Structure 1
Amino acid sequence: MKLVPSSRVALVSLGCKVNQNELEAMRHLFREAGYEIVPFPEKADVYVVHTCTVTHISDRKSRQLIRRALRANPEAVVAVTGCYAQVAPGEVLAIPGVDVIVGTRDRHRLVELVEKAREEGAPINAVRAHEPGEAFEELPLVEVSRARAFLKIQEGCEEFCTYCIVPYARGPLRSRAPEAILAEVERLVAEGYLEIVLTGVHTGAYGRDLPGGIDLAGLLKKIVQIPGLQRLRISSIDPLDFTPELKAVLTGEEVICPHYHIPLQSGDDTILQRMGRHYSSHYYLELIASLRSRRPRAAFTSDVMVGFPGETEEQFQNTMALVKEAALAAIHVFPYSPRRGTPAAAMPEQVAPEVKKERERRLLQLGRRLARQYAREFLNETMAVLVERPLPGQPGVYEGHTDNYLNVAFPAEMDLTGQLVTVRLKELQGGLIWGRLEKDVKEKQENGPGERNKDLVQH
């Protein structure tokens, strides 16, 4: 089908950073095919809803977005992609008005399938089951920020934790070829990107499916040798993936950010066993202590679940105690959500919703206290901040992150987005550290950005 110039597409995504990055890649595919990209849910000829299924709430929000697209233009082609589409294509197809379903593979065919649906007028279900040995799906890398680029290096998971739907939605491990990753990093550095974030579904498992014996530690050793790379951040690494070699490279290379996101899920050994998490609370604390001994001021952040089936108040208190002892700098708290088809959904002693909500509240309160405690350690120091954007609702104020992921805001007389600047951290207020630009940075503002940052701003 030949597109007319008026073809418009609106895309929206739910869920994790992997999903957000995939959406940007799909947006690029439509742009290359001649579509005009418009904000969701403006009136468009095509809508793409990239779904999440990590909780039942994610499923509900996915269905709400699909119906919102249908209301925006009942005549439009609606395409549904992502994890919810992969595990429940029948539910998605049952929504009147859905035209195309693509799961978590074959996203590169999305434009082709949308155009076929526009031409033929019949729904297309292109969801395919994942198969052992399938290759990593190459999608175009599109930088979603002038400050940092996210680079997906791995797909799939084979851990099958008892509560998790992700292995069913994302399929087996597939690692991107190291040569392709290194070439992408070199290109991003040449374009002026100062921070690169490596992402994946099970990032610590990188390389297990590749010939030649390369693993995440080996990949990182190659990446850090690329000239001009300022910052390298890894999105998340599971506790059991920390080999001695990985510990050494993560803590021994200055270019790797001193910020380690290590999912905990529970601080109680019985609950960890029931979850299918094959480490103990003692192992987790020893891991944190080992890394902290090498980089004493690093930030340690984590994911923690409350209300897993059978969790008692005492077991929840064990989680609270571990989080406090580990002195985590930030935690993401998730109430357990039964996922159909997972072992935990059939377990007895499901925790009441009101109990889960109360435990979530208490753990979040502890997390906020620990975050303030960690941030206070850096007040009155000068630190490098990667400027990410103007602070919403605050004209002349910008925000960004330090290498250890402190969120910093400061006033500036010109747009410094995408630049690495030196800021003195002054005050903790409203979840942000407020700071002041140092004198040398102000002088650079007056003289204008350097050539490197001029290119970056124009990108």
Structure 2
Amino acid sequence: MTDNNIFENKTAAYYTLGCKLNFAETSTIGKILEENGIRKIHPGEKADICIVNTCSVTELADKKCRQTIRRIARQHPDAFIVVTGCYAQLKPEEITHIPEVDLVLGAEQKLNILNYLGDLHKKNDGSTIITTKSNDIKSFSPSCSRGDRTRYFLKVQDGCDYFCTYCTIPFARGRSRNGSIADMVTQAKQVVANGGKEIVLTGVNIGDFGQSTNETFFDLIKALDQVTGIERYRISSIEPNLLTDEIIDYVAISHRFAPHFHIPLQSGSDEVLKLMHRRYDTALFADKIKKVKQTIPDAFIGVDLIVGVRGETEALFEEAHRFVSSLGISQLHVFTYSERPGTQALKIEHVVSPEEKHERCRRMLDISVDKLHEFYRSQQGKIRPVLFEHPKKGLPMHGFTDNYIRVELPYDKSLVNETRHVVLGDFNETGDALLCSIVN
């Protein structure tokens, strides 16, 4: 264990790439270091230590990580640089090729960072790598972060047991595990104490919550719903086969869980879903969408898609395109398939060209634009609660309704982090939000 006295008056800079789960974990690392005398740098200040929490979901993500590390090394030439996160777990040797990096920590080590910092002196003789094999990653550390806006991100689960053929997450984060419901409730109460009003439940496969504690995700949302002071919870991405009817029915009557679902589809072709080793088919997915819309007609439904995976022929893409077009959803998040070393997808023969991937992505994004505008138009004239956020300088006041419609109105400092009911009006000039007026 490090002698914490050496940390007094030291400064740190934090850089996070990738998902909201990473941001929650970086926030926890920052709290750990702050409690041990290391404060966050002020703008323009040089840091004594730089923490880079990386992503590795695509080859482009890996490239961005390397670029970010090199940029940080130039900005903070004397800093002790620690790289952690998914890229560090999957490809630690690649990171050691960047000479300025001092320490590479895997998934099991990142939240025990104090144990590995040493005296913070750069040794200039290569990076130290400390990782654990993915099968041996066992620990779960609750994390909660506040974004630049008003919502908090609460990590309730980590890891995944699904091993989809295109995905490296089980290798980067280990098997599914979670903290206890009691721990999550404690974290939510702390958010209340900090003045927070909205929490997004995040994780790798949150519907799988309970593997470590013999509890269920449904038990979790019922317990969190009893925490007074939180005005709104959002459920981040949840697998369609784990989004049960009882969860949908509960959200419909809950005063705190928002009518907002994010459900990964990944492909609208049953044959491609089989190639991906997904645990549902299009019939189940369509039934889930139908259940949500029947139970909560004004619910926002976001959907993840991957285009251009190995095995996705032109005919199968057209099948997927028709299926997605038929769904009563609100928005698509479209990702272009990126080949990842060590995945089973590399054994599939049919390869989609980069040009065709780009075209398929464009066509799915066109559907998304139409679906989003259609959903926004369906809500015009209605009254919804909005939690207003901190606007950037010179921009209008903005916030999101409970069903995730972005709204705008003239700046009013008194509205920051306050919930008001508004009447939803016309689109703004850029078409990405609705103008609104507050109901007195």
* Cα distance, 1:336–1:242 mapped onto 2, change above 3 Å: same
Deviation at 1:275, TM superposition (A): 0.6
Shift of 1:39: 6.5
Q: More displaced, 23-32 or 1-10?
A: 1-10
Q: Are residues 340 and 312 of structure 1, via their aligned partners in 2, closer, same or farther at CA, if it must alter by over 3 Å?
A: same
Superposition pairs of residues 306-321 of structure 1, within 5 angstroms: 306-321=307-322
Distance in 2, Cα, partners of 1:30 & 1:133: 23
One-letter amino acid of the structure 2 residue matched with residue 426 of structure 1: G
Instruction: Calculate the TM-score normalised by the size of structure 1.
Output: 0.89
Deviations 1:274-298, CA, capped at 9 Å, x for gaps = 0111211111111110121111111
Task: Output the amino acid matched with 2:64.
Answer: K
Report the counterpart of residue 453 of structure 1 in structure 2. none
Match of 2:166 in 1: 163
How far apart are the structure 2 equivalents of 1:301 and 1:28? Answer: 32
Instruction: For residue 133 of structure 1, report the CA deviation from its aligned partner.
Output: 7.9
Q: State the 1:419 CA deviation.
A: 0.8
Amino acid at match of 2:403: N
Deviations 1:21-76 (A, max 9, x none): 11111222222222231378963222111110000000000011111122223332
Q: Which amino acid aligns with 2:343?
A: T
Residue in 2 aligned with 1:433? 433
Query: Hey, what does 1:454 align to over in structure 2?
Result: none
Residues 332-411 of structure 1 aligned to structure 2 (within 5 Å): 332-391=333-392, 393-394=394-395, 397-411=396-410
User: Within the alignment, does 1:272 sit opposite 2:276 as a pair?
Assistant: no
Q: 1:310, 1:350 within 8 Å by CA — same for their partners in 2?
A: yes
Q: 1:353: Cα distance to partner? A: 0.5
Runs of 4+ in structure 1 deviating by more than 4 angstroms, as ranges, are: 39-42, 119-122
User: Following the alignment from structure 2 to structure 1, what is the Cα–Cα distance between the partners of residues 39 and 175?
Assistant: 35
> Distance between the aligned counterparts of 1:237 and 1:356, measured in 2?
26
Distance in 2 (alpha carbons) for counterparts of 1:53 and 1:115: 27
1:156–1:172 contact (8 Å) kept in structure 2: yes
Q: How does 1:35-434 map to 2 (within 5 A)?
A: 35-38=38-41, 43-118=46-121, 123-131=127-135, 134-139=138-143, 141-145=144-148, 147-211=150-214, 214-391=215-392, 393-394=394-395, 397-429=396-428, 430-434=430-434
Extract unaligned runs of 5+ from structure 2. none
Equivalent residue, structure 2, for 1:446:
none
Q: CA–CA distance in 1 between the matches of 2:352 and 2:46? A: 43
- Distance between the aligned counterparts of 2:18 and 2:43, measured in 1? 16
Q: 1:209 Cα deviation (Å)?
A: 2.8
Alignment partners' CA distance in 2, 1:36 and 1:221? 37
Going from structure 1 to structure 2, the CA distance change for 1:11 and 1:391 (only over 3 Å counts) comes to closer
Q: For 2:406, give the aligned amino acid.
A: N
- The separation in 2 between residues aligned to 1:382 and 1:318, in whole angstroms, is 38
1:366 positional shift: 1.3
> Secondary structure at the residue paired with 1:291?
helix
SS at match of 2:356: helix
State the distance in 1 between where 2:242 and 2:142 align: 25
- Could you say what secondary structure the match of 2:321 adopts? helix
Conserved 8 A contact 2:142-2:184: no
**Identity across aligned pairs (percent)?**
34
Q: TM-score, normalised by structure 2?
A: 0.93
Going from structure 1 to structure 2, the CA distance change for 1:361 and 1:22 (only over 3 Å counts) comes to same
Distance of 2:437 and 2:360 partners within structure 1 = 40
Decide whether aligned partners of structure 1 residues 381 and 51 sit closer, same or farther in structure 2, where only a CA change above 3 A counts: same
CA distance in 2, matches of 1:40, 1:285: 49
Partners in 1 of 2:221 and 2:151 — Cα distance?
18
For residue 197 of structure 1, report the CA deviation from its aligned partner.
1.2
Preserved CA contact (<8 Å) 2:261 2:299: yes
Q: Which moved more, 1:115-124 or 1:238-247?
A: 115-124
Task: Give 1:126's aligned amino acid.
Answer: I
Aligned-pair distance for 1:439?
Answer: 5.3
- In 2: Cα distance, 1:413 partner to 1:306 partner: 42
RMSD: 2.1
Aligned residues: 435
Give the distance between the partners of 1:370 and 1:359, measured in 2 at CA.
17
Question: Which stretch has the larger CA shift, 402-411 or 109-118?
Answer: 109-118
User: Are the equivalent residues in 2 in contact too, given 1:100–1:117 (CA < 8 A)?
Assistant: no
Q: Is the 8 A contact 1:52 1:84 kept in 2?
A: yes
Closer, same or farther: CA 118–431 of 1 in aligned 2, 3 Å: farther
The one-letter amino acid paired with 2:319 is N
Task: State how far apart, in whole Å, the 2-side matches of 1:97 and 1:216 are.
Answer: 42
- Mapped to 2, the partners of 1:61 and 1:296 lie a distance apart of 40
- Cα offset for 1:237? 0.6
Letter in 2 for 1:428: F
CA distance in 2 between partners of 1:345 and 1:74 (Å) = 40
Larger CA deviation: 253-262 vs 65-74: 65-74
| One-letter amino acid of the counterpart of residue 381, structure 2 | N
The structure-2 alpha-carbon separation of the partners of 1:412 and 1:439, relative to structure 1 and needing over 3 Å to count, comes to: farther
Gaps of 5+ in 1: 441-459
